[in-house]
Copies of this chain bind each other. A is one copy, B any other.
Amino acid sequence: MADLLVVGSIGLDNIETPSGQVAETLGGSAIYFSLAASLFGKVNLVGVVGEDFPEKHRALLAARGVNTEGLQVRPGRTFRWAGCYDDDLNTAHTLDTQLNVFAEFHPQLPEAYRDVPFVFLANIDPELQLEVLSQVRGARLRVLDTMNFWIERKRPQLLDAMRSVDVVLMNDGEVRQLAGTYNLISAARYVLTRGPRVLVIKKGEHGAVMFSEGGYFVAPAYPLAEVRDPTGAGDTFAGGFVGYLSQADEPDEAALRQAVVHGSVVASFTCQDFGVACLATLDRATVAQRYREFSEFTSFPRD
């Protein structure tokens, strides 16, 4: 089992979905990633919170074995996000964003983090992603996520960061926007000729597809009778994906495929309840059980 490093946002979220609402709940890309990846390995977290960050959230991270030595506490308030979803639960509408201490965030890796082999750069300013990459030494696998905001505003820096990683994770809308084409195969070619050897495209309720030297792989999403809150599903996917790879022998095609399915499996649990409620108590046996279900509902006889 090898260690993981994540750099991303940590926030307090107000979320409203057709199933209900929650206020000031623990959120942020680094949090969903950490809780998901900690099912598979030791996670080292880098991020920033304000002085108002509740002790119970820190306790949850500790209980899940997440190392918070790289968690900065700054004077001021923690990052806050408020959002709501339409009935189809596919699109988050941001109602309010308060960057607070996150506005001045610069990732500083504790010395002990610099040799961590599995690095996840969550969806933050690509300039900060590059700052992180300049501080890590000889990572075995570097994975990057991003979003439309950076594609529009910091495209050159984002392309720089992409050139320096092994795997890019994006959602389908973002990869189409980045490549300027609707066709996902053309979009994947665009990304794979710019550095990364693997592209994983997250498609929400439609699952995920992976493009790599080994070819093409499709994994569905788990069919949930009720999606209560999809917030954090993409970062949870990333946590399951990188987390699984961190304990595999080699990140070869077989392991990458298993990692994509683990990403999809863990993300499905996040959608079952608000915020990190489901992730906070999830265990490996429950994940393994659902992985077997995936195997069952995607298999068909060869002719």
Contact = CB atoms under 8 A, between A and B. Distances in A.
A302 B297 contact: no
Task: Choose among A87, A185, A257, A303 the residue with the greatest number of B CB atoms under 10 Å from its CB.
Answer: A303
A300 B185 contact: no
Contacts of A149: none
Interface stretch (A53-61, A95-103, A214-222): A214-222
| Interface footprint category on A | 35 or more
Interface string A54-74: 000000000000000000000
Contacts of A217: 297-298, 300
Nearest to A262: B303
A168 interface: no
Interface in A186-222: 186, 203, 206-207, 209, 215-220
A223 B209 contact: yes
B185 A225 contact: yes
* Contact residues of A: prevailing secondary structure: mixed
Contacts of A297: 215-218
A223 B199 CA distance: 15
Copies in the complex: 2
Interface string A109-127: 0000000000000000000
Contacts of A183: 224-227
27 contacts: A87-B182, A88-B182, A89-B182, A183-B224, A183-B226, A185-B223, A185-B224, A185-B225, A186-B225, A206-B206, A207-B218, A207-B220, A209-B220, A215-B297, A216-B223, A217-B297, A217-B300, A218-B220, A218-B223, A257-B299, A261-B300, A288-B303, A291-B303, A292-B302, A292-B303, A295-B300, A295-B302
